[in-house]
Structure 1
Amino acid sequence: MMFLLEFVVLFSTLASTGQSLKCDKCFSLDSDSCTGFSGQECPSGEVCASRYEISFSDLIVTQTFNRLCAPQAECSVTGTFTHGSSTERVATTCCDTDYCTPTMPKLPDTSSQPNGVWCQQCLSMGTYTCTGGLVQCTGEATMCLQKSRMESIGSQAIYSSERGCASKGYCNMRNTSSVSGAVTKEITYTCTNGFPNAATTTATRILFLFVILTISF
Protein backbone atom coordinates (compact mmCIF):
# COMPACT_ATOMS: atom_id res chain seq x y z
CA MET A 1 0.00 0.00 0.00
CA MET A 2 2.85 2.38 0.91
CA PHE A 3 4.62 1.58 -2.38
CA LEU A 4 1.45 2.35 -4.34
CA LEU A 5 1.03 5.69 -2.54
CA GLU A 6 4.64 6.66 -3.27
CA PHE A 7 4.16 5.76 -6.95
CA VAL A 8 1.05 7.93 -7.20
CA VAL A 9 2.86 10.89 -5.62
CA LEU A 10 5.88 10.46 -7.91
CA PHE A 11 3.67 10.15 -11.02
CA SER A 12 1.75 13.29 -10.08
CA THR A 13 4.99 15.22 -9.59
CA LEU A 14 6.39 14.17 -12.96
CA ALA A 15 3.12 14.93 -14.71
CA SER A 16 2.91 18.41 -13.23
CA THR A 17 6.50 19.15 -14.27
CA GLY A 18 5.61 18.76 -17.93
CA GLN A 19 2.53 20.95 -17.79
CA SER A 20 2.46 24.28 -19.62
CA LEU A 21 1.21 27.53 -18.15
CA LYS A 22 -1.91 29.25 -19.41
CA CYS A 23 -1.45 33.00 -19.86
CA ASP A 24 -3.40 35.95 -21.19
CA LYS A 25 -2.08 37.36 -24.47
CA CYS A 26 -2.69 40.80 -25.95
CA PHE A 27 -0.99 43.72 -27.68
CA SER A 28 -1.76 47.45 -27.80
CA LEU A 29 -0.29 50.61 -29.33
CA ASP A 30 -0.13 53.97 -27.54
CA SER A 31 -1.16 52.44 -24.23
CA ASP A 32 0.38 50.99 -21.07
CA SER A 33 -2.15 48.14 -20.81
CA CYS A 34 -4.11 45.74 -23.00
CA THR A 35 -6.82 43.10 -22.95
CA GLY A 36 -7.16 40.14 -25.27
CA PHE A 37 -7.26 36.38 -25.51
CA SER A 38 -7.41 34.56 -22.18
CA GLY A 39 -5.98 31.19 -21.25
CA GLN A 40 -3.59 30.68 -24.15
CA GLU A 41 -1.29 27.70 -23.51
CA CYS A 42 2.41 28.54 -23.49
CA PRO A 43 5.21 26.34 -24.82
CA SER A 44 6.70 24.15 -22.12
CA GLY A 45 9.11 26.02 -19.85
CA GLU A 46 7.79 29.52 -20.64
CA VAL A 47 6.13 31.91 -18.19
CA CYS A 48 3.58 34.73 -18.35
CA ALA A 49 5.17 38.09 -19.17
CA SER A 50 4.28 41.75 -19.62
CA ARG A 51 6.48 44.01 -21.74
CA TYR A 52 6.20 47.78 -21.95
CA GLU A 53 8.24 49.77 -24.46
CA ILE A 54 8.53 53.45 -25.39
CA SER A 55 10.52 54.71 -28.37
CA PHE A 56 11.55 58.33 -28.89
CA SER A 57 12.60 59.35 -32.41
CA ASP A 58 12.98 63.09 -33.00
CA LEU A 59 9.50 64.41 -32.06
CA ILE A 60 7.71 61.07 -32.48
CA VAL A 61 6.85 58.97 -29.41
CA THR A 62 5.63 55.39 -29.78
CA GLN A 63 4.58 53.13 -26.93
CA THR A 64 3.54 49.48 -26.97
CA PHE A 65 2.28 47.08 -24.32
CA ASN A 66 2.34 43.32 -24.76
CA ARG A 67 1.25 40.37 -22.62
CA LEU A 68 2.75 37.11 -23.84
CA CYS A 69 4.44 33.81 -23.07
CA ALA A 70 8.20 34.19 -22.76
CA PRO A 71 11.28 32.14 -21.81
CA GLN A 72 12.48 32.75 -18.25
CA ALA A 73 15.63 34.43 -19.63
CA GLU A 74 13.54 37.23 -21.15
CA CYS A 75 12.24 38.24 -17.72
CA SER A 76 15.50 40.20 -17.36
CA VAL A 77 14.92 42.27 -20.53
CA THR A 78 14.83 45.76 -19.03
CA GLY A 79 17.04 48.50 -20.43
CA THR A 80 17.74 51.15 -23.07
CA PHE A 81 19.07 51.37 -26.61
CA THR A 82 20.19 54.71 -28.07
CA HIS A 83 21.07 55.16 -31.74
CA GLY A 84 21.33 58.59 -33.30
CA SER A 85 18.35 60.73 -32.28
CA SER A 86 16.33 57.67 -31.25
CA THR A 87 16.04 56.02 -27.83
CA GLU A 88 14.20 52.84 -26.93
CA ARG A 89 13.29 51.99 -23.32
CA VAL A 90 11.87 48.59 -22.46
CA ALA A 91 10.83 46.82 -19.24
CA THR A 92 9.63 43.26 -18.65
CA THR A 93 7.98 41.52 -15.68
CA CYS A 94 6.94 37.87 -15.29
CA CYS A 95 4.91 35.48 -13.14
CA ASP A 96 4.68 31.70 -13.18
CA THR A 97 1.15 30.50 -12.33
CA ASP A 98 -1.86 29.93 -14.58
CA TYR A 99 -3.69 33.14 -15.57
CA CYS A 100 -1.40 35.26 -13.37
CA THR A 101 -0.94 38.97 -14.06
CA PRO A 102 2.68 40.24 -13.97
CA THR A 103 3.27 43.49 -12.12
CA MET A 104 3.31 46.65 -14.24
CA PRO A 105 6.78 46.95 -15.87
CA LYS A 106 8.72 50.04 -14.76
CA LEU A 107 10.76 51.65 -17.52
CA PRO A 108 14.43 52.32 -16.69
CA ASP A 109 15.59 55.88 -16.11
CA THR A 110 17.76 57.59 -18.71
CA SER A 111 20.91 59.61 -18.08
CA SER A 112 22.95 62.08 -20.12
CA GLN A 113 26.07 61.47 -17.98
CA PRO A 114 28.94 60.07 -20.10
CA ASN A 115 30.14 56.68 -18.83
CA GLY A 116 33.53 56.42 -20.58
CA VAL A 117 32.34 53.96 -23.25
CA TRP A 118 32.24 54.61 -26.99
CA CYS A 119 30.29 52.66 -29.65
CA GLN A 120 29.76 52.79 -33.38
CA GLN A 121 26.61 54.58 -34.50
CA CYS A 122 24.95 54.01 -37.86
CA LEU A 123 21.68 53.37 -39.66
CA SER A 124 21.46 51.48 -42.93
CA MET A 125 18.51 50.61 -45.15
CA GLY A 126 19.19 47.80 -47.58
CA THR A 127 21.96 45.99 -45.70
CA TYR A 128 21.97 43.56 -42.75
CA THR A 129 24.96 45.29 -41.15
CA CYS A 130 26.39 48.82 -41.03
CA THR A 131 29.46 50.73 -39.84
CA GLY A 132 29.79 54.26 -38.53
CA GLY A 133 31.73 56.68 -36.39
CA LEU A 134 32.17 56.40 -32.63
CA VAL A 135 29.75 58.12 -30.24
CA GLN A 136 30.00 58.53 -26.48
CA CYS A 137 27.59 56.39 -24.45
CA THR A 138 25.78 57.60 -21.35
CA GLY A 139 24.21 56.22 -18.17
CA GLU A 140 23.93 52.44 -17.96
CA ALA A 141 24.45 51.95 -21.72
CA THR A 142 27.84 50.25 -21.52
CA MET A 143 27.39 47.78 -24.40
CA CYS A 144 27.53 48.24 -28.18
CA LEU A 145 24.53 46.79 -30.00
CA GLN A 146 23.82 46.02 -33.64
CA LYS A 147 20.13 45.43 -34.36
CA SER A 148 19.48 43.85 -37.76
CA ARG A 149 16.15 43.24 -39.49
CA MET A 150 15.13 41.14 -42.47
CA GLU A 151 11.69 40.97 -44.05
CA SER A 152 11.16 38.65 -46.99
CA ILE A 153 8.45 37.54 -49.38
CA GLY A 154 9.56 34.57 -51.42
CA SER A 155 12.98 35.38 -52.87
CA GLN A 156 12.61 39.13 -52.27
CA ALA A 157 14.13 40.48 -49.05
CA ILE A 158 14.41 43.90 -47.41
CA TYR A 159 17.23 44.52 -44.90
CA SER A 160 18.00 47.21 -42.36
CA SER A 161 20.54 47.65 -39.60
CA GLU A 162 21.40 50.08 -36.81
CA ARG A 163 24.16 50.40 -34.22
CA GLY A 164 24.32 52.30 -30.97
CA CYS A 165 24.74 52.15 -27.18
CA ALA A 166 22.70 49.69 -25.11
CA SER A 167 22.43 48.63 -21.49
CA LYS A 168 23.16 45.04 -20.46
CA GLY A 169 19.47 44.43 -19.76
CA TYR A 170 18.49 45.40 -23.31
CA CYS A 171 21.12 42.95 -24.61
CA ASN A 172 19.04 40.12 -23.13
CA MET A 173 16.64 40.56 -26.06
CA ARG A 174 16.05 37.29 -27.89
CA ASN A 175 16.50 36.96 -31.65
CA THR A 176 13.05 36.55 -33.20
CA SER A 177 11.68 34.97 -36.35
CA SER A 178 8.02 35.05 -37.34
CA VAL A 179 5.90 34.14 -40.33
CA SER A 180 2.66 35.90 -41.25
CA GLY A 181 1.14 34.62 -44.46
CA ALA A 182 3.85 34.86 -47.10
CA VAL A 183 5.95 37.34 -45.09
CA THR A 184 8.90 36.21 -42.94
CA LYS A 185 10.42 38.62 -40.43
CA GLU A 186 13.67 38.22 -38.51
CA ILE A 187 15.31 40.49 -35.92
CA THR A 188 18.83 39.78 -34.65
CA TYR A 189 20.53 41.45 -31.68
CA THR A 190 24.34 41.38 -31.43
CA CYS A 191 25.99 42.94 -28.36
CA THR A 192 29.70 43.52 -27.80
CA ASN A 193 31.78 45.37 -25.21
CA GLY A 194 32.19 49.09 -25.78
CA PHE A 195 35.40 50.87 -26.70
CA PRO A 196 37.26 52.71 -23.89
CA ASN A 197 37.14 56.49 -23.85
CA ALA A 198 39.62 57.53 -26.56
CA ALA A 199 40.54 60.80 -24.84
CA THR A 200 41.17 59.07 -21.49
CA THR A 201 43.27 56.37 -23.14
CA THR A 202 45.42 58.98 -24.91
CA ALA A 203 45.89 60.99 -21.71
CA THR A 204 46.92 57.86 -19.81
CA ARG A 205 49.52 57.00 -22.46
CA ILE A 206 50.97 60.54 -22.35
CA LEU A 207 51.17 60.44 -18.54
CA PHE A 208 52.86 57.03 -18.63
CA LEU A 209 55.42 58.29 -21.17
CA PHE A 210 56.10 61.39 -19.03
CA VAL A 211 56.73 59.23 -15.93
CA ILE A 212 59.11 56.96 -17.88
CA LEU A 213 61.06 59.95 -19.23
CA THR A 214 61.25 61.53 -15.76
CA ILE A 215 62.64 58.33 -14.24
CA SER A 216 65.15 57.99 -17.07
CA PHE A 217 66.61 61.40 -16.38
Structure 2
Amino acid sequence: MSRSPILLLLLCCVPLAGGLQCYTCLFPAISPMDCLKFPQECPAGQLCLSSTAEGTTGTMLVRIYEKSCAVQSHCGLSGQKRTAGYNFNYSNVCCDTDLCNAAAPVATPARRGAALGLLPLLLYLLLV
Protein backbone atom coordinates (compact mmCIF):
# COMPACT_ATOMS: atom_id res chain seq x y z
CA MET A 1 0.00 0.00 0.00
CA SER A 2 1.30 3.41 -0.91
CA ARG A 3 2.06 5.96 1.80
CA SER A 4 0.59 8.86 -0.19
CA PRO A 5 -3.08 8.18 0.66
CA ILE A 6 -2.20 7.75 4.34
CA LEU A 7 -0.23 11.01 4.42
CA LEU A 8 -3.04 12.80 2.61
CA LEU A 9 -5.57 11.47 5.11
CA LEU A 10 -3.41 12.60 8.05
CA LEU A 11 -2.97 16.08 6.56
CA CYS A 12 -6.74 16.41 6.16
CA CYS A 13 -7.18 15.74 9.87
CA VAL A 14 -4.67 18.39 10.99
CA PRO A 15 -6.29 21.79 11.46
CA LEU A 16 -4.67 24.61 9.59
CA ALA A 17 -3.10 26.98 12.07
CA GLY A 18 -4.40 30.50 11.65
CA GLY A 19 -3.30 33.58 13.55
CA LEU A 20 -4.98 34.73 16.70
CA GLN A 21 -8.00 37.01 16.14
CA CYS A 22 -7.84 40.20 18.23
CA TYR A 23 -9.73 43.46 18.33
CA THR A 24 -7.91 46.58 17.24
CA CYS A 25 -9.13 50.13 17.77
CA LEU A 26 -9.62 52.42 14.82
CA PHE A 27 -8.66 55.26 17.21
CA PRO A 28 -7.87 55.20 20.94
CA ALA A 29 -10.87 56.13 23.10
CA ILE A 30 -11.24 58.48 26.05
CA SER A 31 -13.25 57.17 29.01
CA PRO A 32 -16.17 56.47 29.28
CA MET A 33 -16.39 55.62 25.58
CA ASP A 34 -15.07 52.38 24.15
CA CYS A 35 -13.08 52.47 20.94
CA LEU A 36 -14.38 51.48 17.52
CA LYS A 37 -13.24 47.84 17.51
CA PHE A 38 -12.49 45.73 14.48
CA PRO A 39 -11.33 42.11 14.51
CA GLN A 40 -8.03 41.41 12.81
CA GLU A 41 -5.76 38.43 12.43
CA CYS A 42 -2.49 38.95 14.28
CA PRO A 43 0.87 37.87 12.90
CA ALA A 44 2.14 34.53 14.18
CA GLY A 45 3.38 34.66 17.76
CA GLN A 46 1.48 37.80 18.74
CA LEU A 47 -1.15 38.11 21.48
CA CYS A 48 -4.21 40.31 22.03
CA LEU A 49 -3.43 43.51 23.94
CA SER A 50 -5.58 45.88 25.97
CA SER A 51 -3.84 49.02 27.12
CA THR A 52 -5.04 51.66 29.55
CA ALA A 53 -3.37 55.02 30.13
CA GLU A 54 -4.41 57.40 32.90
CA GLY A 55 -3.21 60.96 32.58
CA THR A 56 -3.39 63.85 34.99
CA THR A 57 -2.78 67.53 34.80
CA GLY A 58 -3.67 69.32 38.00
CA THR A 59 -6.90 67.72 39.21
CA MET A 60 -8.07 66.58 35.74
CA LEU A 61 -7.92 62.82 35.09
CA VAL A 62 -8.13 61.30 31.60
CA ARG A 63 -8.30 57.58 30.74
CA ILE A 64 -7.40 56.38 27.26
CA TYR A 65 -8.05 52.82 26.03
CA GLU A 66 -6.36 50.97 23.18
CA LYS A 67 -6.68 47.43 21.79
CA SER A 68 -4.38 45.70 19.31
CA CYS A 69 -2.08 42.78 18.58
CA ALA A 70 1.24 42.80 20.41
CA VAL A 71 4.48 40.92 20.71
CA GLN A 72 5.04 39.08 23.99
CA SER A 73 7.60 41.66 25.19
CA HIS A 74 4.86 44.36 25.33
CA CYS A 75 2.65 42.27 27.60
CA GLY A 76 2.53 43.12 31.28
CA LEU A 77 4.38 46.38 30.76
CA SER A 78 3.53 49.48 32.74
CA GLY A 79 5.20 52.81 33.09
CA GLN A 80 4.94 56.55 32.75
CA LYS A 81 4.96 58.97 29.84
CA ARG A 82 4.47 62.72 29.61
CA THR A 83 2.71 64.21 26.58
CA ALA A 84 0.53 67.24 25.85
CA GLY A 85 0.90 68.49 29.43
CA TYR A 86 -0.39 65.23 30.94
CA ASN A 87 1.53 62.71 33.02
CA PHE A 88 0.29 59.30 31.84
CA ASN A 89 0.61 56.01 33.69
CA TYR A 90 -0.02 53.13 31.32
CA SER A 91 -0.44 49.39 31.69
CA ASN A 92 -0.68 46.64 29.09
CA VAL A 93 -2.57 43.37 29.56
CA CYS A 94 -2.43 40.52 27.05
CA CYS A 95 -4.56 37.45 26.48
CA ASP A 96 -4.24 34.49 24.12
CA THR A 97 -7.69 33.44 22.89
CA ASP A 98 -9.62 34.77 19.90
CA LEU A 99 -11.15 38.22 20.52
CA CYS A 100 -10.31 38.07 24.24
CA ASN A 101 -9.53 41.81 24.37
CA ALA A 102 -13.16 42.79 23.74
CA ALA A 103 -14.08 44.05 27.22
CA ALA A 104 -15.34 47.62 27.28
CA PRO A 105 -13.96 50.00 29.90
CA VAL A 106 -16.00 50.68 33.02
CA ALA A 107 -17.12 54.30 33.02
CA THR A 108 -16.94 56.60 35.99
CA PRO A 109 -20.17 58.69 35.95
CA ALA A 110 -18.45 61.86 37.23
CA ARG A 111 -16.07 61.83 34.26
CA ARG A 112 -18.66 61.50 31.48
CA GLY A 113 -19.19 65.22 30.96
CA ALA A 114 -15.48 65.92 30.68
CA ALA A 115 -14.84 63.16 28.14
CA LEU A 116 -16.41 64.94 25.18
CA GLY A 117 -14.50 68.10 25.99
CA LEU A 118 -11.26 66.13 25.78
CA LEU A 119 -11.74 65.00 22.18
CA PRO A 120 -9.40 67.75 20.93
CA LEU A 121 -6.70 66.38 23.25
CA LEU A 122 -7.22 62.90 21.82
CA LEU A 123 -6.88 64.21 18.29
CA TYR A 124 -3.74 66.08 19.29
CA LEU A 125 -2.25 62.90 20.83
CA LEU A 126 -3.02 60.98 17.66
CA LEU A 127 -1.23 63.54 15.53
CA VAL A 128 1.87 63.87 17.74
TM exceeds 0.5? yes
Q: Distance in 1 between matches of 2:73 and 2:91?
A: 13
Residues 76 and 104 (structure 1 numbering): CA distance in 2 closer, same or farther, change over 3 Å? farther
Are 1:94 and 1:102, in contact at CA under 8 Å, matched by a contact in 2?
A: no
Q: Which residue of 1 aligns with 2:19?
A: 20
Deviations 1:124-152 (A, max 9, x none): xxxxxxxxxxxxxxxxxxxxxxxxxxxxx
Are 1:32 and 1:52, in contact at CA under 8 Å, matched by a contact in 2?
A: no
Are 2:35 and 2:65, in contact at CA under 8 Å, matched by a contact in 1?
A: no
1:56-205 matches, cutoff 5 A: 56-81=56-81, 87-101=87-101
Are 1:32 and 1:64, in contact at CA under 8 Å, matched by a contact in 2?
A: no
TM-aligned CA deviation for residue 28 of structure 1:
4.0
Q: Which residue of 1 aligns with 2:113?
A: none
Residues 66 and 12 (structure 1 numbering): CA distance in 2 closer, same or farther, change over 3 Å? same
Q: Which residue of 2 aligns with 1:8?
A: 10
SS of the aligned residue for 1:8 comes to: helix
Number of aligned residue pairs: give it.
Answer: 103
**Bigger RCO of structures 1 and 2 (CA < 8 A, at least 6 apart):** 2
> What's the TM-score, normalizing by structure 2?
0.57
Are 2:52 and 2:91, in contact at CA under 8 Å, matched by a contact in 1?
A: yes
Are 2:52 and 2:92, in contact at CA under 8 Å, matched by a contact in 1?
A: yes
Residues 76 and 58 (structure 1 numbering): CA distance in 2 closer, same or farther, change over 3 Å? same
Bigger proportion of residues as helix: 2
Are 1:95 and 1:102, in contact at CA under 8 Å, matched by a contact in 2?
A: no
Residues 63 and 86 (structure 1 numbering): CA distance in 2 closer, same or farther, change over 3 Å? same
Are 1:45 and 1:71, in contact at CA under 8 Å, matched by a contact in 2?
A: yes
Residues 32 and 72 (structure 1 numbering): CA distance in 2 closer, same or farther, change over 3 Å? farther
Residues 28 and 61 (structure 1 numbering): CA distance in 2 closer, same or farther, change over 3 Å? same
Residue identity matched to 2:58: D
1:21-40 matches, cutoff 5 A: 21-26=20-25, 27-31=27-31, 34-40=34-40
> What's the TM-score, normalizing by structure 1?
0.37
User: Identity, % of aligned pairs?
Assistant: 26
Residue identity matched to 1:49: L
Q: Distance in 2 between matches of 1:29 and 1:60?
A: 17
User: What value does the CA root-mean-square deviation take over the aligned residues?
Assistant: 3.9
Q: Distance in 1 between matches of 2:103 and 2:29?
A: 19
SS of the aligned residue for 2:14 comes to: helix
Unpaired segments of 5 or more residues in structure 1?
Answer: 106-182, 186-217
Residues 40 and 100 (structure 1 numbering): CA distance in 2 closer, same or farther, change over 3 Å? same
